[in-house]
């Protein structure tokens, strides 16, 4: 586990106890950790980490695993769902993403940028028994996968970006950027599925459908239609 401070990934708020608590939460984004590991990762004293982690556990924001490690708490799932349900973009995007799933037959997602990460705000699963599953609220490094590359503007001349086996072995995806005012990339929409079904170049079969979804969403958020 890498040592980090309260300013790694997110700026400090100036409220010491809050910054310290959030540094513990941030450290656990990498997975469960024992007290000693959290102490090393955050650079705080063992007593401080234990006190704050125990308080977060009391509030359901952390939990203890069977081996005594700390992990992110299940209450965060509910909080994430509430945050996503209040997103105007998510409400607007859901029927568009659902249509994209229906027309392609593959799982479809909408992603928003979050610093070095991307967050899935809408996910509609394919009906195939073998399908890719991405939970709403999932966070993935922004440089990995077609959704992240679309958020970074790294699209090809066709207007979409394809990756195969980059985020997960045997999974391919094609995504396109959603552009707001001034052609700024504000989100990415795309589909993903097993390579055995969608092929090594899913853009050939699904790229135009993804572009159509991106164009619809771009218009909805005040941008212009882009090819």
Please tell me the predicted confidence (pLDDT) of residue 168: 80
pTM (2 decimals)? Answer: 0.64
Domain-by-domain residue ranges, the chain?
16-73, 79-220
Structure tokens at 19: 């910054």
Q: What is the pLDDT of residues 169-220, one digit of tens each?
A: 888 999 999 998 778 888 999 999 999 898 889 889 999 999 999 999 998 8
Task: Give the model's confidence band at 12: pLDDT under 50 very low, under 70 low, under 90 confident, else very high.
Answer: very low
Question: 159 near 203, Cβ under 8 Å?
Answer: no
Assign domain 16-73 to a CATH class: mainly alpha
The pLDDT score that the predictor gives to residue 3 is 40
The residue written with tokens 């928003």 in the block is 112
CATH superfamily for 79-220 is: GAF domain (3.30.450.40)
What gap in Å lies between CA 127 and CA 89, rounded to an integer? 24
User: Look-up: residue for tokens 């006190």?
Assistant: 51
Considering the chain, what is the average pLDDT of its residues? 84
CA distances (Å), origin 18, targets 23, 27, 52, 220:
9, 14, 10, 37
Q: What is the pLDDT of residues 84-130, one digit of tens each?
A: 555 677 788 999 999 999 999 999 999 988 778 888 889 999 888 87
Q: How far apart are CA 5 and CA 15, in angstroms?
A: 14
């Amino acid at each position: 586990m890498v040592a980090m401070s309260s300013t790694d990934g997110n700026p400090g708020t100036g409220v010491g106890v809050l910054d310290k608590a959030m540094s513990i939460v941030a450290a656990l984004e990498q997975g469960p950790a024992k007290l000693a590991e959290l102490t090393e990762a955050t650079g705080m004293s063992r007593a401080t980490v234990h006190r704050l982690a125990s308080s977060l556990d009391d509030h359901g924001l952390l939990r203890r695993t069977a081996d005594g490690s700390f992990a992110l708490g299940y209450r965060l799932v509910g909080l994430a769902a509430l945050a996503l349900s209040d997103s105007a973009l998510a409400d607007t995007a859901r029927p568009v993403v659902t249509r994209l799933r229906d027309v392609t037959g593959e799982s479809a997602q909408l992603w928003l940028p979050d610093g070095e990460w991307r967050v899935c705000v809408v996910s509609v699963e394919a009906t195939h028994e073998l399908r890719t599953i991405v939970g709403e609220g999932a966070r993935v490094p922004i440089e990995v996968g077609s959704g992240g590359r679309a958020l970074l503007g790294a699209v090809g001349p066709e207007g979409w970006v394809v990756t195969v086996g980059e985020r997960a072995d045997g999974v391919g995806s094609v995504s396109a950027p959603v552009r707001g005012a001034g052609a700024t990339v504000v989100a990415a929409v795309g589909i993903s599925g097993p390579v055995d079904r969608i092929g090594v170049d899913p853009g050939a079969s699904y790229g135009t459908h993804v572009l159509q979804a991106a164009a619809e969403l771009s218009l909805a958020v005040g941008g212009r239609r882009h090819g």
